[in-house]
A = this chain, B = another copy of it.
Amino acid sequence: MPPQRIYLAGPEVFLANAKEVGEEKKALCRKYGFEGVFPIDVEVKAEGKSPREFGLCISDVNEGLIRSCQIVIANLTPFRGPSADVGTVYELGFSHALGKLVLAYTNLAESFTERTAKALGGRVKRGADGLLRDGLGMFIEENCLIDNLMIDGCLNANSKLLIVEQAPAGELFSWLGGFEKCLAAAKKLTSKGT
């Protein structure tokens, strides 16, 4: 039997050393008996394409890679705002709907409500209805979840695996402690009954 394939979703593709982090993740996958698939494994050539065509082509390749995998591990560490990277979140919804086994981790332990209030520069106010609201009067979730409820809901309905751990300073997007816990859990979940 070939090893099961895991799509490695996360904002680390934006890092200057993205390839290196991808190789580290794939080495860890092998350690647990899996084949890791990193989004930038397939090189999309920019030549002859407009920036728009180039971007759309990468999206197409990534959706194909997800379809080719049995498992997805998503890095939900907040990225340029209080929430996870939207590209990763898109892939989470896409994967869950396709029936993939989905697990996730975040390298930031701070609560979603606190992160949101901080991102809004503290300009939040509790309304007469008891809800915390931003400057536009839009409420802020206080459900003790790690991000928007659709994200936690996905993982709760899927693997129930969402590792929350604080990365060491300076390693927010490259630390793999939570990721390795997902791999251990994936191994346990997929070897059940075999």
**How many positions in chain A have a CB within 8 Å of any CB in the partner chain?**
61
Determine the residue in chain B with the shortest Cβ distance to A119.
Answer: B80
- Tell me whether A93 is interfacial, beta carbon within 8 Å: yes
CA distance A156 to B59 in the complex (A): 10
Render A31-73 as a binary contact track against B, CB cut-off 8 A, 1 for contact. 0000000000000000000111011101110110000000000
Question: Nearest CB to that of A133 among chain B residues?
Answer: B16
The segment from A141-149, A175-183, A184-192 that touches chain B is: A141-149
The chain A residues found within 8 Å of chain B, CB to CB, are 11, 14-16, 50-52, 54-56, 58-60, 62-63, 80-87, 89-98, 116, 119-120, 127, 133-134, 136-145, 147-154, 156-157, 172-173
Q: Are A86's CB and B147's CB within 8 A? A: yes
Q: List B contacts of A137 (CB < 8 A).
A: 15-16
Determine the distance from Cα of A192 to Cα of B142 in the docked complex, in whole angstroms: 44
Q: Please, how many angstroms separate the alpha-carbon atoms of A172 and B135 in the complex?
A: 13
A88 to chain B, nearest CB (A): 8
Whole-angstrom CA separation of A140 from B89 in the bound complex: 17
Nearest opposing residue in chain B for A67, CB measure: B97
A55 and B143 within 8 A (CB):
yes
**Given the known A-B contacts A119-B80, A144-B50, are A157 and B63 also in contact in the complex, defined by CB atoms under 8 Å?**
yes
